[in-house]
Amino acid sequence: MISPNSKYYPLFEYLEQQPDTGLLELSFDEIEEILGQKLPASALSTRAWWANSQTTQGLAWQEANWLVDYPDFDNDVIIFRPARITYRVTPIRKSAGWSGRQVKALREFAGWSQQELANRLAVRQQTISDWEVGHHTARRSTSKLLQMLAEEVGFPYETNPSKKEK
């Protein structure tokens, strides 16, 4: 819990009074004005200082129900977001994955059952079924194995499926 004696308590009070309707951008100068003192040099140049951790300064914004979204050192601002807003980061695939239709087509082309393909990929039969019906997609490493199997059996596949198949 942040102590009222903490030098970051004024920031806690300020943030606690802000409406949590969206992002809040504060410049270093504004933060120093709220605190009534200069920020340490590390706050002006390192992301770690602004981590949403249990540090004294971190407690100031977290206990006010805010999180640091992005420290923008190029523009000397810190962007806060309400703690109630969460993000789900989805990685960008660098290589195209296999659609369920492609997995099924490969399996049928090779004359394999779902269990046989599962054995070759070291996954469960249910995983193959889930891919084929579209519940899940193969991970990148498994996609590479699917490509190798396709090449082995002479299956003509595309690594960049059309937008209709995605």
Domains and CATH numbers, the chain: 9-82 (no CATH), 100-153 (1.10.260.40)
pTM for the whole structure: 0.53
Residue-wise pLDDT tens digits, 25-80: 999 999 999 999 999 999 999 999 999 999 999 999 999 999 999 899 989 999 99
- The continuous run of DSSP H or E covering 130 comes out as helix 125-133
Find the length of the chain: 166
Q: Residue 91's pLDDT is what? A: 53
Contact call for residues 110 and 149 (beta carbons, < 8 A): yes
Out of 48-52, 137-141, 156-160, give the one with best mean pLDDT. Answer: 48-52
